[in-house]
Amino acid sequence: MPELQKEKDYYIDKLGFVEDFPAPGWAFLSLGDFKVMLGECPDDAKARDTGCHSWYAHVIVEDVNSLYADVKARGAKILSALADKPWDIREFSVETPDGHRIVFGQIIGSER
């Protein structure tokens, strides 16, 4: 990605990820059991320029309501608000500065 530091900061500051360990030219991040590896590719196109291919993850979490409240409070760019979907998942989606789009959801009925 062209702007690794900006993207990494967004995942940490807006989405609540933590950095697993430092590595030159890479960012290894986690949100619970979900892990991403972001790479520095200054000459590559931004994810948003790949159209539908910028949807890159659908993450099932244990408490989507709390996660949604947290990322919203942190100022993340919300693409679709938290809602129950016909495929029995309560979910919302976000977009990162580079244009990666991620869906976070919880299977309906799995609330604890």
- The CATH number given to whatever domain includes residue 25 is 3.10.180.10
SS3 at position 1: coil
Distance of CA 98 to the CA centre of its chain: 11
Q: Distance between CA atoms of 1 and 21, rounded to whole angstroms?
A: 19
Question: Residue 60: inside a domain, yes or no?
Answer: yes
pLDDT 10s digits, 47-102 = 666 666 567 789 999 999 999 999 999 999 999 999 999 999 999 999 999 888 99
For the chain, percent of residues with pLDDT exceeding 90: 72
Tell me the two tokens of residue 59.
Answer: 């993450």
Question: Residue 42: inside a domain, yes or no?
Answer: yes
Alpha helices in 15-76 (DSSP H): 64-74
SS3 at position 85: coil
Look at the chain and report how many structural domains it folds into: 1
- Per-residue pLDDT band at 109 (split at 50, 70, 90): confident
Q: How high is the pLDDT of residue 40?
A: 87
SS3 at position 33: coil
Task: Please say if the pLDDT value at position 41 is more than 90.
Answer: no
Q: Identify the domain containing residue 26 by its residue range.
A: 4-107
Task: Indicate the residue type of 48.
Answer: R
Question: Residue 112: inside a domain, yes or no?
Answer: no
Q: What is the pTM of this model?
A: 0.86
